[in-house]
């Protein structure tokens, strides 16, 4: 099933709801650049989910341009920018089309990025092709070096009435029937975020967010998919967090894939997803969630050369099993040490390192020791296991 946000992604400007003035300004800017007039790159900024990235893709389709999307994660330093990004500003496309460059989420760059923002400013100010940057906010001081070289266009939250109108249009095409009260609740509750509204509409109909799918079904969806959207669908049906999914994938990649190159490729994508999760925690920027989830679902799922017909026996993560055993052992040892310490007039901390010694003492007369130390059946069995 293709998510509604992807299925109804705008293909031209007029399909993007709201922000009429901003859309018209962007259309005029692009037309001017394509006719050879020197124009500054544009920086489109506004809240998440209002269509900034979709707008770039719609422009590319409407004007028959080749779009090159560049993530801000590729602009961390001068070396990566010079190697990976600068050539795109001057090289021609394979099929002779004109190119538009989208640099997404530049406000995600931090002060720790080694000269990335300054180098980016030097690059875009002399661009001869259309360059569009997006940001959620532009007030951060780190943006100062680039703001002077771009024309800023603000996009605002989409009005609830416009969102409701879009929902009705999609509902008619999809044969979706929900109450007007629900439509109004979604449209007013999404805070102008169109993407969120469509996700909520989909959830209300198919109950995706409340639908509990076991872990092995999620893995099967990822491993057996042959398309990006098919693998990413796993993220909408899973009932576990990203960290748990990473552990399940880590345990089972080698059980599903047989080719060494496929296994290595899958672990490489999983590793990159973990890197983005680290950036999310360090920078508190949750815009990276989409990259992390795509890498661990589509990245891992499409690492295979061909789909395996076998039915794999997916296993619970060994790491969690070992952690569970370790936690159980520590908890049981502490409980026993506390009881023994109380009877021998010492602290549990002093008993803990000598637990095997006490286990052998208890073994000599288990029933008597059980009563004396007030041990439970499980605690006695645990000590007997240590004593051997």
Task: List pLDDT tens digits, range 169-227.
Answer: 999 988 888 888 888 888 888 888 888 888 888 877 665 444 456 788 888 889 888 88
**71 SS3 class:** strand
Task: List pLDDT tens digits, range 275-294.
Answer: 988 888 877 777 778 888 88
Packing angle between helix 180-189 and helix 160-174, nearest 10 degrees?
Answer: 130
Residue 123, pLDDT score: 79
DSSP output for 84-133: IIGGGGTSPPTTS--EEEEEE-GGG--TTSBBHHHHHHHHHTT-SS-EEE
Given a contact cutoff of 8 angstroms between Cβ atoms, the answer to whether 160 and 187 are in contact is yes
d(CA 232, CA 3): 10
Beta strands in the chain (DSSP E): 42-45, 66-71, 99-104, 131-135, 151-154
Averaged pLDDT of the chain: 83
Return all residues near 301 (Cβ < 8 A) that are at least 6 apart.
222, 223, 224, 225, 230, 231, 234
Say yes or no to pLDDT of 114 above 70. Answer: no
Given a contact cutoff of 8 angstroms between Cβ atoms, the answer to whether 293 and 246 are in contact is no
| Overall size of the chain counted in residues | 388
Given a contact cutoff of 8 angstroms between Cβ atoms, the answer to whether 218 and 296 are in contact is no
**CA within 13 Å, CB half, 18:** 22
**CA within 13 Å, CB half, 28:** 8
DSSP output for 203-234: HHHH-TTT--B-HHHHHHHHHH--SHHHHHTH
| Ramachandran angles phi, psi of 151, nearest 5° | -100, 120
**Which of 101-115, 192-206, 209-223, 247-261 holds the top average pLDDT?**
247-261
Rg (CA), the chain: 28
Q: Which residues pair with 151 in a beta bridge?
A: 42
Q: What angle do CA 74, 75, 77 make, to 5 degrees?
A: 115
Residue 23, pLDDT score: 92
Return all residues near 4 (Cβ < 8 A) that are at least 6 apart.
170, 174, 198, 199, 201, 202
d(CA 240, CA 221): 14
Q: Look at residues 113, 130, 109, 110 and name the one whose alpha carbon lies nearest to residue 39.
A: 130
Say yes or no to pLDDT of 112 above 60. Answer: no
| Ramachandran angles phi, psi of 348, nearest 5° | -65, -30
Task: List pLDDT tens digits, range 290-342.
Answer: 888 889 999 999 999 887 877 788 888 887 777 767 777 888 888 888 999 88
**Which of 10-14, 230-234, 328-332 holds the top average pLDDT?**
10-14
- pTM score: 0.54
Write the secondary structure of 226-292 as one string of H (helix), E (strand) and C (coil): CCHHHHHCHHHHECCCHHHHHHHHHHHHHHHCCCHHHHHHHHHHHHHHHHHHHHHHHHCCHHHHHHH
Given a contact cutoff of 8 angstroms between Cβ atoms, the answer to whether 66 and 102 are in contact is no
């Amino acid at each position: 099933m293709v998510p509604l946000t992807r299925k109804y992604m705008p293909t031209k400007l007029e399909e993007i709801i709201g922000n009429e003035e901003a859309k018209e300004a962007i259309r005029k800017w692009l037309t001017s650049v394509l006719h050879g007039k020197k124009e500054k790159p544009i920086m489109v900024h506004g809240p998440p989910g209002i269509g900034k990235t979709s707008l770039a893709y719609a422009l590319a389709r409407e004007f028959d341009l080749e779009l090159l999307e560049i993530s801000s994660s590729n602009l961390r330093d001068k070396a990566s920018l010079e190697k990976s990004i600068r050539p795109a500003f001057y090289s021609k496309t394979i099929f002779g089309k004109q190119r538009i460059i989208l640099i997404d989420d530049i406000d995600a760059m931090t002060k720790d990025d080694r000269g990335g923002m300054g180098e980016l400013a030097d690059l875009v100010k002399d661009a001869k092709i259309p360059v569009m940057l997006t940001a959620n906010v532009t007030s951060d001081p780190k943006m100062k070096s680039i703001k002077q070289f771009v024309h800023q266009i603000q996009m605002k939250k989409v009005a609830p009435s416009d969102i409701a109108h879009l929902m009705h249009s999609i509902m008619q095409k999809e044969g979706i029937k929900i109450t007007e009260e629900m439509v109004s609740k979604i449209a007013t509750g999404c805070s102008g975020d169109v993407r969120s509204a469509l996700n909520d509409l989909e959830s209300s109909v198919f109950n995706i967010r409340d639908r509990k799918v076991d872990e092995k079904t999620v893995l099967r969806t990822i491993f057996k998919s042959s398309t990006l959207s098919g693998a990413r669908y796993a993220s909408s049906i899973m009932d576990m967090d990203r960290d748990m999914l990473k552990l399940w994938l880590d345990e089972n990649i080698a059980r599903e894939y047989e080719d060494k190159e496929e296994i290595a490729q899958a672990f490489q994508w999983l590793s990159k997803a973990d890197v983005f999760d680290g950036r999310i925690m360090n920078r508190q920027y949750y815009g990276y969630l989409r990259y992390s989830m795509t890498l661990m679902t589509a990245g891992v799922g499409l690492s295979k050369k061909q789909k395996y017909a076998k039915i794999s026996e997916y296993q619970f993560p060994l790491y969690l099993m070992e952690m569970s055993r370790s936690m159980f052992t520590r908890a049981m040892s502490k409980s026993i040490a506390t009881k023994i310490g109380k009877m021998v007039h010492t602290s549990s901390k002093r008993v803990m390192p000598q637990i095997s010694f006490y286990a052998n003492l208890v073994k000599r007369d288990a029933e008597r020791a059980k009563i004396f130390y007030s041990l439970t059946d499980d605690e006695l069995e645990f000590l007997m296991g240590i004593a051997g």
